[in-house]
Amino acid sequence: MTANPEPSPEIDMTTLAPSPTVVRRPEIGVAQTRVVEADAPVKMKMHDVSIWYGEKRAVRDVTLDVASNAVTAFIGPSGCGKSTILRCFDRMNDLIPTARVQGSVTLDGQEINDAAVPAVEIRRRVGLVFQRPNPFPMSIYENVAYGPRRQGIKDRRTLDEIVERSLRRAAIWDEVKDEFRKKSGLSLSGGQQQRLCIARTLATDPEVILMDEPASSLDPIATLRIEELMAELRSNYTIVIVTHNMQQASRVSDFTAFFTLGEDRAGYLAEMDATARIFTNPKERVTEDYVSGRFG
Ligand code: ADP
């Protein structure tokens, strides 16, 4: 099955009953390897990835595929390594001195952990949107032009085009078009700031967008705008989102990866599947317990 082009239907978690078809309890802590649908085009792959912070193993043996032009959600209890795993996709763990990543991560089949591959090139192709909006203390225009300027683009007209296109794609153009050259990015509301940060990410023309709980600091209306934006961006970008909010995962994503903690306190991938199946008919008991609110 290819990625569903329509937003996933909202699922009311409170009505989910335990599935009678799920009878097997996996040995807790055994890595479960799940890939997305066999024929879905894959943008990124992670194979046998383990991550340590100093001596502590935070993540164990994660193998998963990220489908192209789809939204993949990472869910699971706090501390099970979702953000740590997300950061592997653009080598942001390189910036944490104690972090050590073992295993393979590929982008279009190319190994990104290869020392010969510049991390800056990976981060151009794989953009990251942080949990808290973090506009730079400069104009809206300069926020968006920042990345392209660093890539060496100096021509004013080219920059103008990139800024406008990025603000349009991030669904904030109409709100700022009259004053974006002068107005500070910091003067926007929280939701607008997050869309500005998404525009800033889009300006460097990434292929993959990673979002680490992008709406967790926003009110419900601003959250809805971000979710609508994800649905729009999915046709042109591959998106991976970490979210604590299961309703959000069920609304926005095509595929869901459920992580949990093993007995050794390292996070592992318990199950990955099409989002509708994870929330209605998961294969693993541990997933069912989590999505039905009995655990985590
Ligand atoms: P999640 O996103 O699922 O909440 P994290 O990836 O943030 O989980 O964290 C996974 C584990 O790694 C936790 O035990 C956390 O304390 C630890 N951890 C995360 N970041 C760091 C860091 N920079 N240094 C040391 N330990 C970290």
Could you give the number of structural domains in the chain?
A: 1
- Predicted local distance difference test score (pLDDT) of residue 122: 95
Q: What's the CA-to-centroid distance between 84 and ligand 1, angstroms?
A: 6
**Residue 86 DSSP class:** H
The residue whose CA is least distant from atom 23 of ligand 1 is 96
Does residue 13 sit within a domain?
no
Q: Which residue has the tokens 């740590």?
A: 84
Q: Does residue 145 contact residue 180 with C-beta atoms inside 8 Å?
A: no
Does residue 260 sit within a domain?
yes
- Predicted local distance difference test score (pLDDT) of residue 21: 28
Mean pLDDT of 108-119: 93
Does residue 197 sit within a domain?
no
User: Is the confidence at residue 296, as pLDDT, over 60?
Assistant: no
Strand order in the sheet with 42-53: 110-111, 99-107, 42-53, 56-67, 267-274, 255-261, 71-75, 238-242, 208-212, 126-129
The C-alpha atoms of residue 150 and residue 155 are separated, in whole angstroms, by: 12
CA 66 to chain centre: 10
The residue whose CA is least distant from atom 12 of ligand 1 is 58
User: Is the confidence at residue 266, as pLDDT, over 90?
Assistant: yes
Does residue 229 sit within a domain?
yes
Q: What's the CA-to-centroid distance between 28 and ligand 1, angstroms?
A: 20
- Full residue range of the structural domain in which residue 112 is found: 30-134+206-291
CATH number at residue 117: 3.40.50.300
Q: Phi and psi dihedrals of 96, rounded to 5?
A: -100, 110
**Mean pLDDT in the chain?**
87
Does residue 51 sit within a domain?
yes
User: Is the confidence at residue 3, as pLDDT, over 50?
Assistant: no
pLDDT single digits (tens) 62-100: 999 999 999 999 999 999 999 999 999 999 999 999 999
The C-alpha atoms of residue 263 and residue 267 are separated, in whole angstroms, by: 9
Ligand 1: residues within 6 Å at CB? 53, 58, 76, 78-84, 96, 98
The C-alpha atoms of residue 120 and residue 11 are separated, in whole angstroms, by: 39
Does residue 58 sit within a domain?
yes
**Residue 179 DSSP class:** T
Does residue 114 sit within a domain?
yes
Q: What's the CA-to-centroid distance between 44 and ligand 1, angstroms?
A: 22
User: Is the confidence at residue 22, as pLDDT, over 60?
Assistant: no
**Residue 184 DSSP class:** B
Of all residues in the chain, the percent with pLDDT exceeding 70 is 86
Does residue 270 sit within a domain?
yes
